Amino acid sequence: MCGIIGITSNKPVTSAIINSLRKLEYRGYDSAGVATLSNGFINEIKSEGRVDNLEKNLLNKKIEGTIGIGHVRWATHGIPNTVNAHPHSSETVSVVHNGIIENSTTLKKYLIKKGHKFKSQTDTEVIVHLITELLKENDLKNSILKMLKQLHGSFALGIIFKDQPDLIVGARRGSPLAVGYGPNENYLGSDSYALKSMTNKISYLNDGEFCIVKKNEVNFFDETGNKINKKVLELSSNEQDYEKGDFKHFMAKEIEEQPITLKNCIKEYIDSINNEISIHNFPWKNKEISSVVLIGCGTAYHSCMMAKYWFEELTTLDVSIDIASEFRYRNNRFKKDSLYIFVSQSGETADTYAALDLCNKNNMKTASIVNVIESSIARDSNFVLPIHCGPEIGVASTKAFLGQMLVLYLLILKLGIIRGDLKKVNYVEKIKDLKKLPKFVEDTLLTENKIQSVSSTFIKAKGSMFLGRGFSYPIALEGALKLKELLYVHAEGYPAGEMKHGPLALIEDGMPVVVLAPRDNYYKKTISNMQEVIARGAKVLLITNKSNDDVVSENIWQKIEVENTNEDLLPFLLTVPLQKLAYYSALKKGYDIDKPRNLAKSVTVE
């Protein structure tokens, strides 16, 4: 949820740190700061708000130094202001931190008794005083080991020391941390994206490990202090993936590139010559799996909900779903013949990672569906299914959602055919339809003008509802989430059939209600539910698929028709207008579309 960077070099580092902080802003942006070592002193500059503010402050007070650390914050403890911004420093130590120190109150009491003075309301500041206290009686390495033992909770740390002017210490537990290798300089960063403008040579720390980074050497240690070797990965970096190009926002670009990302993903998994889905090295035999548990958060959870319907339609596997933050504390009945599938765009979501860790500790079969293949969740799963969407920078997930659904659908078709649950003729037919999906999405993207016109009604309304049944229900939830995230208004996704059990009371004259009613098995029922809300004054935006027979209903405020395709694939098409509705509503309000308030792209804290 925060971003950290550290650089040790033979040349001044401040501007390189600022550049990396700009790339890290998608992880959190309510305050920022930088600290460097120069002339034997720690120099620290911090600011509330965006990195631009920090840069303005640096114009007034330039800080030199060839070693430094930087941080962008998403507040967990302490309001977002300059005092609580990182780095947190004493005379001799400066720290940047991503995560939550769960025993900070206890440690703070102990350190105050030792005479330490605290300036901020943050949990992080205890790290500064704890390592300072330990260094009084221990050398650097032992101080680090003792500190790591005393800290409870999650952290990715970057620490510089007045008396160690050539090194940065990094440590990881539960929050991602990477080391980058450059010419006469080396780096520490939350992820490869923060380092990509300086290097594509990366090593990743695992939980419990720490490192000592100097400009010409890096040493890694395990939690007992033994030196360990780390693989150096050379990551391919496609510059244009990280730029907006002609688009005003990353989200706009990522919505528009969905036909391409779907096509790329289909190419990765479908052998077009033989019309066969290839999922290489799937580690388990049919008889080893009799049920599936799908786990994720937010949009990723909605893709799990969607997959549940497909699993039930296309296989005989038992399937359950859970929100990761619930699963990790539930009294789970772990079953040997269950496959636990973790869906996560970033692969770093703390709750999802914790749920995976729990399954690993119980020796369960684990698979992950991720967009970032070098992420923690991917690294710690038995099997990984990448969604091949390219970097998704907009905080509101769009192309990754369609990518998650696509890979889940491919997996389900594959399991269906190898288990004999799906007839070959249906399997082949569905693959043929699937190959047309990018074109259908492309055509659906053209329903732009109507969406722009209806968005004004959603802006003015004090709230809205998104209704759907069956396959459309998870999409209704996703559409509501997009509008909440971007327009900062109440928007509720609900099963259409449930409205009469209470929420119908919410409907009042002029309230915008999106009804997802493609011509599928649920169509007639959903149209009846739609009539119930129209009868109570709702302004219904009906999203359905093209058909010759007209909708059996009057008084519909607006109608959008998406392309007609195989019923399984309609959820992909229904999603597109909802992404655009959220985008254009926020655009009209002038809100920050790529970095909505209070949010962050990768939620790496509980």
Query: Which residues are designated catalytic?
Result: 2, 601
Q: Which is nearer to ligand AGP, 190 or 352 (by Cβ)?
A: 352
Which pair of tokens denotes residue 18? 């600022």
Nearest residue to ligand AGP on Cβ basis? 298
Span of 67-75, 76-84, 296-304, 499-507 interacting with ligand AGP by CB under 6 A:
296-304
Q: Which is nearer to ligand AGP, 388 or 430 (by Cβ)?
A: 388
The nearest distance, CB 341 to ligand AGP, in angstroms, is: 13
Span of 9-17, 291-299, 308-316, 419-427 interacting with ligand AGP by CB under 6 A:
291-299
Which pair of tokens denotes residue 123? 């949990």
The nearest distance, CB 50 to ligand AGP, in angstroms, is: 19
Residue 585 as a binder of ligand AGP (CB under 6 A): the answer is no
From candidates 66, 261, 345, 565, binder to ligand AGP by CB under 6 A? 345
From candidates 47, 325, 346, 585, binder to ligand AGP by CB under 6 A? 346
Residue closest to 233 by CA, chosen among 392, 386, 388, 379 = 379
Span of 201-209, 307-315, 395-403, 577-585 interacting with ligand AGP by CB under 6 A:
395-403
Buried/exposed 306-330: b ≥16 CB within 10 Å, e otherwise: bbbbbbebbbebebebbbbbebbee
Report the helix count and the strand count for the chain, using DSSP H and E.
18, 27
Strands (E), 20-92: 31-38, 41-48, 67-73, 88-89
Distance CA 499, CA 505 (A): 8
The nearest distance, CB 346 to ligand AGP, in angstroms, is: 3
Q: Are 70 and 20 in contact (CB under 8 A)?
A: yes
The nearest distance, CB 441 to ligand AGP, in angstroms, is: 18
Which pair of tokens denotes residue 84? 């609580």
The nearest distance, CB 454 to ligand AGP, in angstroms, is: 21
List residues bridging with 47 in a β-sheet: 32
Residue 603 as a binder of ligand AGP (CB under 6 A): the answer is yes
Residue 300 as a binder of ligand AGP (CB under 6 A): the answer is yes
Residue closest to 352 by CA, chosen among 328, 372, 331, 334 = 328
From candidates 395, 475, 515, 541, binder to ligand AGP by CB under 6 A? 395
Q: Are 291 and 335 in contact (CB under 8 A)?
A: yes
Q: Are 364 and 340 in contact (CB under 8 A)?
A: yes
Span of 133-141, 227-235, 342-350, 381-389 interacting with ligand AGP by CB under 6 A:
342-350
Q: Are 69 and 87 in contact (CB under 8 A)?
A: yes
Residue 407 as a binder of ligand AGP (CB under 6 A): the answer is no
Question: Are β-strands 67-73 and 3-9 bridged in parallel, bridged antiparallel, or unpaired?
Answer: antiparallel
Using CB under 6 A, which residues numbered 466 to 505 contact ligand AGP? 485
Distance CA 602, CA 584 (A): 24
Residue 344 as a binder of ligand AGP (CB under 6 A): the answer is yes
Residue closest to 47 by CA, chosen among 75, 79, 84, 17 = 84
Residue 14 as a binder of ligand AGP (CB under 6 A): the answer is no
Q: Where are the alpha helices (DSSP H) in 315-423?
A: 324-327, 350-361, 376-379, 399-418
The nearest distance, CB 452 to ligand AGP, in angstroms, is: 21
**SS3 label, residue 495:** strand
Span of 215-223, 248-256, 389-397, 424-432 interacting with ligand AGP by CB under 6 A:
389-397
Residue 34 as a binder of ligand AGP (CB under 6 A): the answer is no
Q: Which is nearer to ligand AGP, 168 or 321 (by Cβ)?
A: 321
The nearest distance, CB 370 to ligand AGP, in angstroms, is: 8
In degrees, to the nearest 5, what angle opens at C-alpha 213 toward C-alphas 189 and 4? 20
From candidates 3, 28, 65, 298, binder to ligand AGP by CB under 6 A? 298
Q: Which is nearer to ligand AGP, 315 or 602 (by Cβ)?
A: 602
Residue 396 as a binder of ligand AGP (CB under 6 A): the answer is yes
Distance CA 152, CA 145 (A): 13
Q: Which is nearer to ligand AGP, 209 or 478 (by Cβ)?
A: 478
Span of 232-240, 244-252, 343-351, 469-477 interacting with ligand AGP by CB under 6 A:
343-351
Residue 604 as a binder of ligand AGP (CB under 6 A): the answer is no
Q: Which is nearer to ligand AGP, 387 or 527 (by Cβ)?
A: 387
Span of 130-138, 259-267, 390-398, 409-417 interacting with ligand AGP by CB under 6 A:
390-398
Q: Which is nearer to ligand AGP, 69 or 411 (by Cβ)?
A: 411
Helix axis angle, 258-269 relative to 424-444, nearest 10°?
Answer: 160
From candidates 47, 381, 602, 604, binder to ligand AGP by CB under 6 A? 602
Residue 192, burial from CB neighbour count under 10 angstroms (0-12, 13-18, 19+): buried
Q: Which is nearer to ligand AGP, 299 or 444 (by Cβ)?
A: 299
Question: Are β-strands 210-213 and 227-228 bridged in parallel, bridged antiparallel, or unpaired?
Answer: unpaired
What is the helix (H) or strand (E) element at residue 166, kind and residue range?
A: strand 164-173
Q: List contacts with ligand AGP (CB under 6 A).
A: 297-300, 344-346, 349, 352, 395-397, 485, 602-603
